[in-house]
Amino acid sequence: MIDTHCHIYAEQFEDDLQAVLERAAESGVSHIFMPAINFGSLPKMDALSHPDIQFHKMAGIHPTDINKGTTTTEEELLDYCRQDDIVAVGETGLDYYWSDDYKAEQQKSLHLHCRVAKEVDKPVILHNRESTEDLLQIIEEEQDGSLKGIWHCFNGSVKEGKRTIDLGLDLGIGGVMTFKNAGVDESVAQLPIEHMMLETDAPYLSPEPKRGKRNEPAFVKYVAQRLAEVQERALDEVLEITDRNALQLFGIKSS
Sorted by where each begins, the domain ranges of the chain are 2-250
Which residue from 110, 18, 87 is spatially nearest to 251, judged by alpha carbons?
A: 87
What's the CATH fold of domain 2-250? TIM Barrel (3.20.20)
- Predicted TM-score of the model (pTM): 0.97
| Mean pLDDT, all residues of the chain | 97
Q: Which one-letter amino acid corresponds to residue 88?
A: A
Which residue from 178, 244, 241 is spatially nearest to 208, judged by alpha carbons? 178
- 148-176: pLDDT as tens digits: 999 999 999 999 999 999 999 999 999 99
For 134-217, where are the E strands, in sequence order?
149-151, 169-173, 196-198
Q: How confident is the model over 191-247, as pLDDT tens digits?
A: 999 999 999 999 999 999 999 999 999 999 999 999 999 999 999 999 999 999 999
10 Å Cβ neighbour count for 252? 15
Q: What's the CA gap between 55 and 40, in Å, rounded?
A: 17
Q: Please report which confidence band the pLDDT of residue 253 belongs to, taking 50, 70 and 90 as the band edges.
A: confident
Q: What is the pLDDT of residues 127-145, one digit of tens each?
A: 999 999 999 999 999 999 9
- Please give the C-alpha separations between residue 179 and each of 43, 182, 183, in angstroms, as whole numbers: 34, 6, 8
DSSP secondary structure code for residue 246 in this structure: H
Among 98, 130, 96, 124, residue whose Cα is nearest residue 111:
124
pLDDT higher than 90, residue 28 = yes
Cis before 203? omega within 30:
yes
Residue 2 to residue 65: CA distance in whole angstroms: 26
How does pLDDT run across 110-128, given as a tens digit for each residue? 999 999 999 999 999 999 9
Region 57-78 average pLDDT: 97
Q: Does the pLDDT at position 72 exceed 70?
A: yes
- Which pLDDT score is estimated for 100? 87
